Amino acid sequence: MHVELTSAAPQATADFYSRAFGWRTEASPFLPGYLLAQTGDGPGIDAAIMSREHQEQAAIIWIQVEDIDAARAAVTEAGGDASGEVHDLPGEGRVGYVTDPDGVVLGLKQPA
Protein backbone atom coordinates (compact mmCIF):
# COMPACT_ATOMS: atom_id res chain seq x y z
CA MET A 1 0.00 0.00 0.00
CA HIS A 2 3.00 2.31 0.49
CA VAL A 3 6.77 2.32 0.21
CA GLU A 4 9.30 4.35 2.22
CA LEU A 5 12.72 5.27 0.90
CA THR A 6 15.38 6.31 3.39
CA SER A 7 18.04 8.90 2.71
CA ALA A 8 20.91 10.74 4.38
CA ALA A 9 19.53 13.86 2.64
CA PRO A 10 15.73 13.50 2.27
CA GLN A 11 15.13 16.81 0.45
CA ALA A 12 17.89 16.10 -2.10
CA THR A 13 16.43 12.63 -2.66
CA ALA A 14 12.94 14.14 -3.06
CA ASP A 15 14.34 16.59 -5.60
CA PHE A 16 15.87 13.69 -7.57
CA TYR A 17 12.58 11.74 -7.71
CA SER A 18 10.72 14.91 -8.65
CA ARG A 19 13.07 15.64 -11.55
CA ALA A 20 13.40 12.02 -12.68
CA PHE A 21 9.80 10.80 -12.25
CA GLY A 22 7.59 13.80 -11.50
CA TRP A 23 6.94 12.92 -7.85
CA ARG A 24 5.38 15.70 -5.75
CA THR A 25 6.46 15.84 -2.10
CA GLU A 26 5.35 17.67 1.01
CA ALA A 27 6.56 17.61 4.60
CA SER A 28 4.70 15.26 6.94
CA PRO A 29 2.71 17.02 9.67
CA PHE A 30 3.65 14.19 12.05
CA LEU A 31 7.40 13.61 11.76
CA PRO A 32 10.37 15.90 11.00
CA GLY A 33 12.65 14.63 8.23
CA TYR A 34 9.74 12.77 6.60
CA LEU A 35 8.35 13.76 3.19
CA LEU A 36 5.12 12.37 1.75
CA ALA A 37 5.38 11.67 -1.99
CA GLN A 38 2.62 11.47 -4.57
CA THR A 39 4.09 9.26 -7.28
CA GLY A 40 1.53 10.04 -10.00
CA ASP A 41 -2.10 10.16 -10.95
CA GLY A 42 -4.25 7.03 -11.14
CA PRO A 43 -3.70 3.63 -9.55
CA GLY A 44 -0.38 2.81 -8.00
CA ILE A 45 1.56 3.05 -4.79
CA ASP A 46 2.51 6.37 -3.24
CA ALA A 47 5.70 6.76 -1.26
CA ALA A 48 7.57 8.64 1.42
CA ILE A 49 11.17 9.72 1.75
CA MET A 50 12.57 9.86 5.26
CA SER A 51 15.78 10.49 7.10
CA ARG A 52 17.88 7.45 7.93
CA GLU A 53 17.69 8.69 11.52
CA HIS A 54 14.28 6.96 11.60
CA GLN A 55 15.20 3.68 9.81
CA GLU A 56 18.38 2.59 8.04
CA GLN A 57 17.01 0.04 5.56
CA ALA A 58 17.03 1.56 2.06
CA ALA A 59 13.39 0.78 1.24
CA ILE A 60 10.48 -0.32 3.41
CA ILE A 61 7.28 -1.87 2.09
CA TRP A 62 4.07 -1.10 3.97
CA ILE A 63 1.26 -3.64 4.26
CA GLN A 64 -2.30 -2.66 5.12
CA VAL A 65 -3.89 -4.93 7.75
CA GLU A 66 -7.34 -5.09 9.33
CA ASP A 67 -6.00 -5.61 12.87
CA ILE A 68 -2.44 -4.52 13.61
CA ASP A 69 -2.28 -6.40 16.91
CA ALA A 70 -3.34 -9.67 15.24
CA ALA A 71 -0.90 -9.07 12.37
CA ARG A 72 1.97 -8.44 14.82
CA ALA A 73 1.08 -11.66 16.66
CA ALA A 74 1.10 -13.55 13.35
CA VAL A 75 4.52 -12.07 12.49
CA THR A 76 5.91 -13.29 15.81
CA GLU A 77 4.31 -16.72 15.45
CA ALA A 78 5.79 -17.04 11.95
CA GLY A 79 9.32 -16.34 13.25
CA GLY A 80 9.58 -12.57 12.81
CA ASP A 81 9.90 -9.82 15.39
CA ALA A 82 7.20 -7.36 16.44
CA SER A 83 8.93 -5.76 19.41
CA GLY A 84 8.69 -2.17 18.12
CA GLU A 85 6.01 0.27 19.20
CA VAL A 86 2.65 0.88 17.54
CA HIS A 87 1.76 4.55 17.04
CA ASP A 88 -1.55 6.29 16.40
CA LEU A 89 -1.47 8.79 13.53
CA PRO A 90 -4.43 11.16 13.83
CA GLY A 91 -6.88 10.56 11.01
CA GLU A 92 -4.67 7.85 9.49
CA GLY A 93 -4.79 4.86 11.84
CA ARG A 94 -2.32 2.72 13.77
CA VAL A 95 1.16 2.05 12.38
CA GLY A 96 4.25 0.12 13.40
CA TYR A 97 7.29 -1.71 12.12
CA VAL A 98 8.00 -5.45 12.29
CA THR A 99 10.80 -7.57 10.85
CA ASP A 100 10.77 -10.85 8.98
CA PRO A 101 13.07 -13.73 10.05
CA ASP A 102 15.91 -12.30 7.89
CA GLY A 103 15.65 -8.89 9.58
CA VAL A 104 13.88 -7.11 6.72
CA VAL A 105 11.84 -4.22 8.12
CA LEU A 106 8.16 -4.04 7.07
CA GLY A 107 5.60 -1.40 7.98
CA LEU A 108 2.08 -2.34 9.07
CA LYS A 109 -0.88 0.03 8.91
CA GLN A 110 -4.36 -0.46 10.30
CA PRO A 111 -6.42 2.34 8.73
CA ALA A 112 -8.56 4.57 10.96
Summarised one tens digit per residue, pLDDT across range 17-36 is 999 888 999 999 988 999 99
pLDDT above 90 (res 12): yes
Q: Which strand (E) or helix (H) includes residue 21?
A: helix 10-21
Residue range(s) defining the domain that contains residue 34: 2-111
pLDDT above 90 (res 105): yes
d(C-alpha 79, C-alpha 104), whole Å: 12
pLDDT above 90 (res 69): yes
CATH number at residue 12: 3.10.180.10
Domain count of the chain?
Answer: 1
Identify the band that residue 41 occupies on the pLDDT scale cut at 50, 70 and 90: confident
